[in-house]
Structure formats: structure tokens, C-alpha cells
Structure 1
Amino acid sequence: MTDILYSLNEHERNCPEQIAIKHNEDTITYRQLNQYANTLAEVIKDAQSPLIVYGHMSPFMIVGMIASIKAGCGYVPIDTSIPEERIHSIIGKIQPSFILNTTEAQMEFNNCEVLDTSVFNRDSLITEFESQMKGDDIAYTIFTSGSTGEPKGVQIRYESLNEFTEWMVSLNQLGDHQQWLNQAPFSFDLSVMSIYPCLATAGTLHLVDKTMINKPKLLNQMLEEAKINVWVSTPSFMEMCLMLPNLAEASYGNLKEFFFCGEILAHRTAKMLLQRFPSAYIYNTYGPTEATVAVTSIQITEDVLAQYNPLPIGLPRPGTTLSLADKDELVIAGKCVSEGYVKDEVRSQAVFKTDKQQKHYYTGDKAVFENDQWFITGRIDFQVKLNGYRMELEEIEFQMRQVDIVKEAIVVPVYKDNKVTQLQGVVVLNNPLDIDDEQSVIHDIKQALKQVMPEYMIPRKIIFKSQFPLTANGKLDRKQIAEDVLA
């Protein structure tokens, strides 16, 4: 099986000066990656809790990840877009010994040491460090949205990460030393799909930051200069990029492989992409954070497009089995399944089960197996994905209800082609609303939400109601509320 740390040692020996990670003008070679990671691992080797890795698309964040794996403690990635209150919640649950801050901002926390990138500026970097990470140790913990307002820390073991990486390497038809693109923030597990397969195959990882995403010209410039071969992103990001008129095989002859995960790949998007890149390998993959990024794949071809709409998610990877439980809920079994939510036995026991010494994860996704392919048909709860970000509507509603002027709140996802395109918030206020104050109140609610949630979770539109309808058994009638909003 692929071992990430062993691969990095081999790359340092065989291609030490090759660039491993690139962000704008910042680069780190394979020799630097390994020696920086060794140096940090020596500092944190006695840590009894994961290393918090904080920043946004800094190559030193990946150094911190590798160092934490070498040290045996694992890591928790936190992007700068995460609100301060949420950061404090995560740090309170993890209780780290160390935080690696890759930004210029000052950070101070009690009972832990904050390290910055000066830790890598020592006179003598450490050339060798014996890994303390074992297969069943936790390599990383990624926090996702939780229905109670508390984010859930999904723990992934090192053997699960290696198994996933090996599978991705087997799907990659371009071989070693490729130029990989990573679009996802490191706090989003889609980034794992590009980081480790790229590093395992001695590739160069190119990091796309928020500025590039907001300014397509910068993104276009990066794509031209980097000569990207392997593209990893959400379908939504690709949809945005397809607005660039020259994003096609004629202009980007090096771009030969695409991997999509994190949300539904729309048929029209896949069709347009295949028309633009007829020689490319295009993969649709599926998987929750709790099952190590992705567990199924299918290569999208003209035949697949002609046969299926919506598109299937394909078949499970080696070592993973899929089955259906009540309500056609998809259940994933295998070494890919998470160890559970960190310090959260109640929620862990609700979705993680052990049967015949094998772990199972109950996804909450509705699925069907037809024509020898798996399809996702919806959710059995209120969890949705928007622009690749998984979130639970109940968490957003919980935070909306914490706003002083709000009495009750419901979040309604707006769908187009079976995909969530936006969220709309429906609220009942504590006091009647004067029509002249509507925009002011909407502004106040959104400003309050920005203090506790990432912007992508904040409803685009807020609608006011005097009261909510109830079902016959006294529960909120979500279906009727949604019908009223979307009418």
C-alpha cells in the first residue's frame, strides 16, 4: 500500500529540487518540504493532541500537515474564512498543544503554544525524523457543519488516508510528475483529493486562493503559466471557470484530467466540459468527509452522457462496500470509515456502527443501485451541499434563532437541476416589522450571522412571515413553508 511519508522520503532522494507546492511566487521543493516537516515534527513530537494548522493556501500549511503526521499527532486545518467564534469552539474541543499560524495576524490562546513560519528559519534544518505515525492513528480531523450549532470533528486514520491516496493514484492515468490544481480550502476535505495524490506521485501542487477565484483573469493567468495537467475542484467551481471562453483543449493542451467531488456534477456541466476537452479523462466521484473524501468514481464519457441524466456516482473503490438501510439510506463500510467524531460519543453512535468487526457509516444520503451503477437521489435529513460546502440547514437555523430580533427561522434550499443553487431564510420576528425597516433588519440579521458562520452558509435572501404553518402533529410544516417561498 502507498505510504505517504515513505513516498516523500523517496522524492527527496530522487527529485530534491522539484517544486512540490506553489502558491503565487511562494514555492517549496521536495527537499524543503521534507526537511521543514522534520524540523517542525521535532518541535511537536511530544504533543498529545492534534496540531492546529491555520491560514489560507500557504504552502507552509501543508508542511504543518506532513510534520504532524510524522510526529504522530495529526492535524486540524482551519481556514482564515472561519469565524472567530467557530475557531474558538474547535480549539476548545481539540485543546491543542501547538498552533501553526501561517498568516501575519497575531494569535494568542491559553494553554497552547502558537508557532509561526519562523520555526522553519533555523540555522540547521533536520534532515531525518523517524515517523511516529501508525496506521490506526488519526492523521487529520476536519470539522464539518453540525445540526446543534456545534461543528463535528471527523477523525480520519492514517491507513484510511493511505488507502484513499493509493486509489486516487490508480485512477490517475497521467502518471508521475504532473502539475495538479487544488481549488478547495484545506479545511474542506476535497483538498485531500489533490494534496496527497499529488505529493505521492512527485507532482507539483498549485494552490488557487480566494483572490484568484474572485478575479478570473488571475486564475486564467495561473492556468496558462502553470500548465496544469490534473484539475481537482467542485463542479460549481468548474461551472464558473467554463465562463472563460478560452478554457478549452486548444488553449490548454496540457490539461488532461479532471476530478470532481463535493456536490452533484450536473449533466450539462459534464457535457460542456467534454466538448471543450474531448481528449481528457473526467471523473465524477462521491463520498462524505466521514468516509475519507470519496468512495466511488465513474469516468464520464460520451456513452455515459448519452445513457444517464442525472449522472451516476459510479462504483465503490477497492476495500469499500455500499449497501442500503431504511429509507434507502446509503451505508458505507470499510477501512475508509472515520474513527468517529472527536469527543462526541452521542453523535458518533448515531451514525457509526460496527458489524462483524467492520465499521459502517450511515450517510443520510438516499441512493439507488440501477444498471450496475450507484446514484444519489437526495437526503433523508436536512443536510445540503452548496458550492461544494456541506452544511446542515438546522445549524444555520439554530444560529439565526440566536439573533435577538428573530423568534423562529427556517432555511429553504433552492434547487435547479437537482442541485442547490442558493439558500433562502424565512423568519418570524419577535416584534411586528415595519415595511420601511425591512432592508435594515435584513442587514442586521446578516451582520449577526457573519460573526458566527462562514459567508457561504448565510442565506442569500431573507423573507419575513408573521407565523409558520404547522403539520397535523404540531411540527413546523417545512414542506408548506418551502412551497410558499418558491411559489
Structure 2
Amino acid sequence: MKDIIYSLIENEKHYPDQIAVKHNEDVLTYRELNRYADALAYFIKDSYKPLIVYGHMSPFMIVGMIASIKAGCGYVPLDISMPEDRIKSIIKKIEPEYIWNTTETQLDLNHAHILDTNIFNEVDIPNRFESQINGSDIAYTIFTSGSTGEPKGVQIRYDSLNEFTQWMIDLNKIGENQQWLNQAPFSFDLSVMAIYPCLATGGTLNLVDKTMISKPKLLNDMLLQAKINVWVSTPSFMEMCLMLPDLSEEHYESLKEFFFCGEILPHKTAKMLLQRFPSAYIYNTYGPTEATVAVTSILITEAVINQYNPLPVGKVRPGTQLTLAENEELVISGQCVSEGYVKDEQRSKAVFKDIKQRRAYYTGDKATVNDDLWFITGRIDFQVKLNGYRMELEEIEFHLRQIDVVKEAIVVPIYKSGKVTQLQGVVVLNQSNDDNERQTLIHDIKQELKQTMPEYMIPRKIIFRDQFPLTINGKLDRKQIAEDILT
């Protein structure tokens, strides 16, 4: 199995001057990445608390991650786009000894040990810092949203991270020394899918920041200049990029591989991408943060597109087992499963169990298996009851997306006194229409839904939007969509 730290040392020997991490004009070679990480690891080597890594797409955030792994304490990534109260809440829970600030902004956190890159002028850099991490040590802790409003800190062990990295390397069809694109902020575990497989194979990690996301021309320029080979993002981010008229194999001939995770990959999106990049490898993957990023994958081919709608999430990766509970809830077991939520015994006990001496996680996702392929069919908590009928919101969204004029769709339940009183469908069309046509469209959409669904499942209102907002992680922002229609 690949060991990430050993791989970085080997890459420094073989490719010392190759760029390891790049963000705009800020770059670090493999020699610089290792040297800086060794120096920071030496500085924090006696810490037993995770290193807080703060910033946004700075190559020095990667330095902090590698240093903390070498030091054996692990890290907690925090992005500048996170609300201040959330950042303070996480820091209070972690009680870090050190905070690694990669921004030029002074942090007002009343913390004694806030470090920045000036420490490299203050400490003697050792020739080589010997890694102190063990396989069972926590490599990183990523905080995800909790249903109670309090974020949950998901702890991932180093051996789980190495196992995941090896699986990604095995999936990769185009070999080492590639140009990788990372869209996700480091506080979102999708970034792990790009960071470690890239660095373990001597690649260059190209970082997409929030400015590039809001200005597609900047993203287009980066794609052309970097000659990206491997793309890692959410499906929603790809849907936004597919609006770039030149995003095709003809204009981006270097783009050979795509990995998607974090959301459902819509059939229409996959079909369009395959049409534009017919010779590329396109992977649909699935997994919760609690199971080290992803646990299943499938290579999307024309045969898969023609046979399945919705698309499967594929086959389980080695060393991992998937089973179904009585309520069709997907249960993941194996080394990939998290150690649990940091300092949160109650919520950990609710979803982490031991099954036949294997660590298991109850995902909250509903699933089924057909043709030896796994399908995610919805969320247990996306089920609502309306007029006595129990229904799945994602089933309605699926049928909306099958309508030719519909590009994307979200179904929002409207509550009154804690009870669902109606459903509203929020839709993005494939092409713009004027207001006079929209009443006709609403009628046509509802008529098409009647062909596939009972009357009680059809949204009472259909609302049109030019585009959907994305969260800072690049996912569809369901909460914002719901708030917009209620105001």
C-alpha cells in the first residue's frame, strides 16, 4: 500500500524541481514542500493536539497538512469562507496547541500559538524530519454539518487515508506526473480525493479558488495554461463549467480523467460530458466523510449511460463491505470507517457500531444493489409525509430531471406549524424562456409528471430560476434555494 509520506520523500528524490502545488503564481516544488513540512513538523513535534490549518487554497495549507501528519498530531482544515462563529466553535472543541495561519490577515482568536510562514526564518530546518505518525493515528479531522446545528468533527486515521489513496491510484488510468485540478476547499473532504493521490504520484495539484468559480473566464484561463489532466469536483461544479462553450475534448485535449463525488451525478450531466469528452475516463463515486471520502466507483461509459438512469455509484472498493439494514439504510464497514466524532460520544454511538469485529457506519442513505452495482436511492431524512402519503423528495426530483426542458430541479417541502402542507418544485431550464411561455411550461411539466407519478406527489407550484446557488463546497445549496422561495 502507498505510504503518503514515503511517496513524498521519493518524489523529492526523483522530481525535486517539479511543481507539487500551484495556486495562481504561488508554487511549491517537491523539494520546497518537503523542506517546509519538515521544518514545521519539527516545530510542532511535541504537540498532541491537531494542528488547525487556516486559509484558502494556499500551497502553504498543504505544507501544514503534511507537517502535521509527519509530526503525528494530524490537522483540522478551516477555510476563510466559513462563518466566524463556526470557526470559533471548532477551535473551542479541538483546543489546539498551534494554529497555522496561511493568510495575510491577523486572526483575532486570543490564541497564544498562531504560526505563519515567518517561522521558517526563525527555526533551523533539519536535514530530514523522520515521520512520527502511526497507522492508527488520526491524520485529519474534517467538520461536517450536524442536524442539531453543531458541526461534527469526523476523525480519519492515517491507515484509512493511505488505503483510500492507494485505491484512487489504482483507479487512475493515465499514470503518474499528471496535472490535477482540485475544486473543493480543504475544509471539504472531496479535496482529499485530489490532494493525496496527486502528491503520491508525483503530480501537480492545481487549486481552484472562489474567485475563479465566480468568474468562469479565470477558470478557463487556468485550465488552458495548466493543461489539466485529472479533474476532481462535485457534479454541480461540472454542470456550471459545462456552460463554457469550449469545454470539450477539441479545446482541452489534455483533460483525460474526471472524478465526481459529494452529490448525485445526474444522468444528463454525465451524458453531456461523455459527448464532449468521448475518450476520457469519467468516474462516478460515492461515500460519506465518515468513510474516508468515497467507497464505491464506476467508470461511466456509453453502455452505462444507455442502460441505467439514475446512474449507479458502482462497486465497493477493496477492504470495504456494504450491507443494508432492515430499513434499506446503507451500512459501511471496514478500515475506511472513521474513528468517530471528536469529543461527541453520544452522536458517535448513534451511527458507529462494531459488526463482526469490524468498524461500521450507518450512513442515513437509502440504497439498493442491482447487477452487482450499488445505487443510492435517497436519504432517510429526505422522506416527508403530505396528506397522509409518505414520499421521497429525491424521487420527485429524479422525475423532474427526466423532462427534456429541465436541466436541474429541487423539491422544497413547505411547512406550517411543523407539518408539510405542500411541495414546490424549483427548476432550471435548459434554455431561457419568456414569462408568457412559462405558464404553458408549468402545465406541460405537470402533465409529464402525471405520466410517471401519482397526483399527490406532483409539486403544487413550479418556480423557475436562471441557476441554482452552490455552497462553498460546490454542492447545490438546498437551504438557500428553500430560503429564496420563502422570502
Q: Name the TM-score class by shorter chain.
A: 0.7 to 0.9
Within 5 A, what are the aligned runs for 1:177-196? Answer: 177-196=177-196
Q: Are 1:261 and 2:261 matched, yes or no?
A: yes
Query: Size of the alignment, in residue pairs?
Result: 416
Cα deviation, residue 428, structure 1: 7.1
Cα deviation, residue 180, structure 1: 0.2
Cα deviation, residue 371, structure 1: 1.3
Cα deviation, residue 105, structure 1: 1.3
Q: Are 1:459 and 2:440 matched, yes or no?
A: no
Within 5 A, what are the aligned runs for 1:127-166? Answer: 127-166=127-166
> Does the residue aligned with 1:150 lie in a helix, a strand or coil?
coil
Cα deviation, residue 383, structure 1: 9.9
The one-letter code matched in structure 1 to 2:137 is D
CA distance in structure 2 between the partners assigned to 1:428 and 1:377 by the alignment: 27
Equivalence for 1:223: 223
- The answer to whether the 8 A contact 2:39-2:123 is kept is no
Q: Are 1:237 and 2:219 matched, yes or no?
A: no
Cα deviation, residue 425, structure 1: 8.6
Q: Are 1:20 and 2:16 matched, yes or no?
A: no
- The answer to whether the 8 A contact 1:422-1:459 is kept is no
- The answer to whether the 8 A contact 1:184-1:190 is kept is yes
Gaps of 5+ in 2: 385-392, 402-407, 418-470
Equivalence for 2:358: 358
Equivalence for 2:304: 304
Equivalence for 1:322: 322
CA distance in structure 1 between the partners assigned to 2:258 and 2:168 by the alignment: 12
Give per-residue Cα distances to partners, 1:64-116, cap 9 Å, x unaligned. Answer: 00000000000000001110100111001000000001111111434541011
Q: Are 1:107 and 2:107 matched, yes or no?
A: yes
Within 5 A, what are the aligned runs for 1:39-438? Answer: 39-110=39-110, 112-122=112-122, 124-382=124-382, 416-417=397-398
Q: CA 1:148 to 1:354, structure 2 compared with 1: closer, same or farther past 3 Å?
A: same
Question: What is the TM-score with the length of structure 1 in the denominator?
Answer: 0.81
CA distance in structure 2 between the partners assigned to 1:122 and 1:271 by the alignment: 54
CA distance in structure 2 between the partners assigned to 1:59 and 1:339 by the alignment: 28
The one-letter code matched in structure 1 to 2:10 is E
CA distance in structure 2 between the partners assigned to 1:455 and 1:303 by the alignment: 28
Q: CA 1:455 to 1:86, structure 2 compared with 1: closer, same or farther past 3 Å?
A: farther
CA distance in structure 2 between the partners assigned to 1:462 and 1:66 by the alignment: 39
CA distance in structure 1 between the partners assigned to 2:188 and 2:411 by the alignment: 20
> Does the residue aligned with 2:350 lie in a helix, a strand or coil?
helix
The one-letter code matched in structure 1 to 2:217 is K
> Does the residue aligned with 2:480 lie in a helix, a strand or coil?
coil
> Does the residue aligned with 1:265 lie in a helix, a strand or coil?
coil
Q: Considering only aligned residues, what root-mean-square deviation do their CA atoms show, in Å?
A: 2.5
The one-letter code matched in structure 1 to 2:79 is D
CA distance in structure 2 between the partners assigned to 1:350 and 1:156 by the alignment: 18
CA distance in structure 2 between the partners assigned to 1:144 and 1:457 by the alignment: 16
Question: What is the TM-score with the length of structure 2 in the denominator?
Answer: 0.81
Cα deviation, residue 422, structure 1: 5.5
The one-letter code matched in structure 2 to 1:51 is L
Q: CA 1:253 to 1:463, structure 2 compared with 1: closer, same or farther past 3 Å?
A: closer
CA distance in structure 1 between the partners assigned to 2:120 and 2:413 by the alignment: 46
Cα deviation, residue 47, structure 1: 1.0
Q: CA 1:48 to 1:457, structure 2 compared with 1: closer, same or farther past 3 Å?
A: farther
> Does the residue aligned with 2:333 lie in a helix, a strand or coil?
strand
Structure scoring higher RCO (CA < 8 A, sep ≥ 6) equals: 1
CA distance in structure 1 between the partners assigned to 2:119 and 2:484 by the alignment: 50
> Does the residue aligned with 1:142 lie in a helix, a strand or coil?
strand
- The answer to whether the 8 A contact 2:396-2:411 is kept is no
Residue identity over aligned pairs, in percent, reads: 69
- The answer to whether the 8 A contact 1:20-1:202 is kept is yes
